[in-house]
Structure 1
């Protein structure tokens, strides 16, 4: 009968995430997860009947941790900045762009350093999802959930962000983050701020009219 100890299940899925980042999908097996979690042989099979079920559980655990961190980061970074803003000092749109740039720059830097393991694991899962329908469905559902939460957090913190722009924002952020975690560019304050500014202005700024001078 499958075990239901939540603490042990978390230990197994956290070990799976670490293995995905270190060894890739091909290094992930029930036995390797048990060794990494320092649990007896056969433990993982009690919780996950197949390798695909283990991969799905790892994806769900990643999103659980990500959403908790996203809420905490937003409360810590956006709300204080919003309360400190000078009323009437700039247009609401400009204020939103500045606050979003600050938020994304901090998020990119944290994700590419302290949370690098998590995002390498996500990249492995996204590639594997192309070959596993159950995992693909899970990843698609989790992406939608993350996008919806992002839009909700923007509204809760008074950020004037068009919900229709959030999917583009998420895609651009994901591409920048993949580049950072795989070591293609330096990971530092200056780089993450440049990327954040490009993401924010590329997805949220009002697009130029066709008759604007210099418009592409």
Structure 2
């Protein structure tokens, strides 16, 4: 099997773009090769089969969605408060906006996981680990809200992101970009205010 890590990463990123644009059914070796601009057959030298490609895409999206530790440290400089939680949730939305392709590809992978038990197991492990780490971080950072509040916040933000990236008109309506951004920020603030107690 080929060992060029940079080429492998480029192919996986191309697979993520295919997933976001064409869905799981469109994810073929030929589509990845075309998206990456490499000769036909290149992907098959790097991935054993489509299942392997799905797994590698899932792992890569997890890496892409993990925030830079230095930026986390900077974001946590203010005193822990409900306002800081709202700022962190707005930052979460912005990070997902910045990698819209990765977020949509993850949604496609989640849907495909309902049909592929191995992929479901592969996705469940990092998502659960990320949830546990985020809950631990919330508690250890002294942010307001107990474990139940964090769980409700997680579920509410997951729903908000799903609506925002798939059917934004449901929550925001046919507004211009600036109005839509302001409405989204207000919705994040409302979620946090309703779920997280004051400091």
Which TM-score tier does this pair reach, normalised by the shorter chain? Answer: 0.7 to 0.9
Q: Which whole-Å CA distance do the structure 2 matches of 1:167 and 1:45 have between them?
A: 41
Tell me which moved more, 19-28 or 194-203.
194-203
Q: Which whole-Å CA distance do the structure 2 matches of 1:24 and 1:61 have between them?
A: 17
In the TM superposition, residue 162 of structure 1 has moved relative to its aligned partner by 2.6
Which consecutive unaligned segments of at least 5 residues does structure 2 have? none
Deviation string, structure 1 residues 141-197 (Cα, Å, up to 9, x no partner):
121121122124334544244344433322221111111112423464322222222
| Superposition pairs of residues 1-216 of structure 1, within 5 angstroms | 2-67=1-66, 69=67, 71-79=69-77, 81-82=78-79, 96-112=81-97, 114-155=98-139, 157-185=141-169, 186=172, 188-205=180-197
Q: TM-score, normalised by structure 1?
A: 0.78
In the TM superposition, residue 40 of structure 1 has moved relative to its aligned partner by 2.4
Tell me which moved more, 143-152 or 193-202.
193-202
Q: TM-score, normalised by structure 2?
A: 0.83
In the TM superposition, residue 139 of structure 1 has moved relative to its aligned partner by 1.3
Q: Is the 8 A contact 2:145 2:197 kept in 1?
A: no
In the TM superposition, residue 128 of structure 1 has moved relative to its aligned partner by 0.8
Q: What SS is found at the alignment partner of 1:205?
A: coil
Q: How many residues align?
A: 190
In the TM superposition, residue 60 of structure 1 has moved relative to its aligned partner by 0.7
Q: What SS is found at the alignment partner of 2:81?
A: helix
Tell me which moved more, 27-36 or 39-48.
39-48
Cα RMSD (Å) of the superposition?
Answer: 2.2
Q: Is the 8 A contact 1:13 1:61 kept in 2?
A: yes
Q: Is the 8 A contact 2:19 2:26 kept in 1?
A: yes
Which consecutive unaligned segments of at least 5 residues does structure 1 have? 83-94, 207-216
Q: Is the 8 A contact 1:96 1:161 kept in 2?
A: no
Q: Is the 8 A contact 2:65 2:95 kept in 1?
A: no
Q: Is the 8 A contact 2:65 2:96 kept in 1?
A: no
Q: Which whole-Å CA distance do the structure 1 matches of 2:68 and 2:82 have between them?
A: 19
